[in-house]
Amino acid sequence: MRLGGWLESYRLLFLALLAITGVLGLASVGLEARVTSILSTSPENSFLTGSSSFYNELAARYPVQLGGPETIQPGWCTTYLLIGPDKPIKHGEAAWLAELYREGRVSMLIADETGNANPLLEVLGAGRIAGLVAAKPSTTPHPYMVLVNCNGTLIVSSKVARVEPGPGSVPVCWALTADGWVPIAVVYENNGSRLLVVGDSSIFANFLFNGYDGLPSTHSLAMSLVGMVARRGCTIVYDVAHYEYARLDVSALTFVVSRLLAVLPAALASKLSDLGGFAPLAAAAAVVVAALLALGSPVEPGAPPEPVGLRQIRENTRLILSELTGDAYGEPRGAQPPPQRRS
């Protein structure tokens, strides 16, 4: 086929693509996509601070459903997970969960260092998240990087909150702070249900769960904590209703792309006239590049930033473990966590 025939065929293909893009633009009116912040602990976030790896492991072992407190229906056998919420629990949600818990129909794992879970803990009578703890000064230059002991399992965490226990609680995890060993996780029993409150959501985050870049992995500990509350045959409801999301308007993006495809060839015609018969090919290349740029603009370029404190944790993990334990798996030297007791 002569060059002129190829160019004519290409013109027809290009016009067809323009028509298809216009149809897609009309068809996508009103569509939206939910975009998770890269700093959120959401299971829908696959970045370092998200909990997608934990969620995948969870789904491989248990029946899991993403939702919120309203997802749980009367008569269900449920384990409710609230991991690092970005937004506080509402009073109505807390009242519903407390009713289910007191009737023995739901067990819960709440991991939070921000205090956003406190409205729920207050209704449950399960103490409160009392704020971040400071590390023992002689062990690390970072004030919130602490050694955590969960019944003999040691981890290093960047930010851990003190848990003020409520009546009937049993401590299961402690952090070595400037004030000695303080509880950062407690468990409650009520009418066949169990409530586990952990003052550290980073245990479930990808960068610790996967042992990112040499950090001690929390994989076994995270799944053991779930095992404390998960009941055989019960569905796990993983709360995704209390994270911050952005709305990405698909129809607007498609409209922008379609306008670019429709307008740019004409705008570039005078600039490309000196290319003669190759002008349609050059115009098509320019349009494709512009469309890709338009589609990519809502997403920040480059690698995701490291979580706050991650570099500091990595640099000081060996120091902390060597000073306090002698090795990564030994018992802490000096003061030991208090024996389990009910408060």
- Give the rounded percent of residues in the chain with a pLDDT score beyond 70: 57
- Among all chains, which residue has been given the structure tokens 């205090």? 115
What predicted TM-score, i.e. pTM, was given to this entire model?
Answer: 0.66
Calculate mean pLDDT across residues 166-192: 91
DSSP collapsed to 3 states, the chain: CCHHHHHHHHHHHHHHHHHHHHHHHHHCCCCEEEEECCCCCCCCCCCCCCCHHHHHHHHHHCCEEEECHHHCCCCCCEEEEEECCCCCCCHHHHHHHHHHHHCCCEEEEEECCCCCCHHHHHHHCCCEEEEECCECCCCCCCCCCEEEEECCEEEEECCCEEEECCCCCEEEEEEEECCEEEEEEEEEEECCEEEEEECCHHHHCHHHHCCHHHCCCCHHHHHHHHHHHCCCCCEEEEECCCCCEEEEEHHHHHHHHHHHHHHHHHHHHHHHHHHHHHHHHHHHHHHHHHHHHHHHCCCCCCCCCCCCCHHHHHHHHHHHHHHHCCCCCCCCCCCCCCCCCCC
pLDDT of residue 227: 95
Q: In the predicted model, is pLDDT for residue 205 greater than 80? A: yes
What does the pLDDT read at residue 133? Answer: 80
Where residue 56 falls among pLDDT bands split at 50, 70, 90?
Answer: very high
Going from N- to C-terminal start, the domains of the chain cover 3-30+249-296, 36-243+316-324
Higher pLDDT, 62 or 34: 62
Calculate what percentage of the chain has a pLDDT beyond 90.
Answer: 41
Q: How confident is the model at residue 213 (pLDDT cuts 50, 70, 90)?
A: confident
pLDDT at 289 over 50: no
Average the pLDDT over 210-238 and give the result: 90
Q: Does residue 23 or residue 89 have the better pLDDT?
A: 89
Q: How confident is the model at residue 215 (pLDDT cuts 50, 70, 90)?
A: confident
Architecture of the domain defined by 36-243+316-324: 3-Layer(aba) Sandwich (3.40)
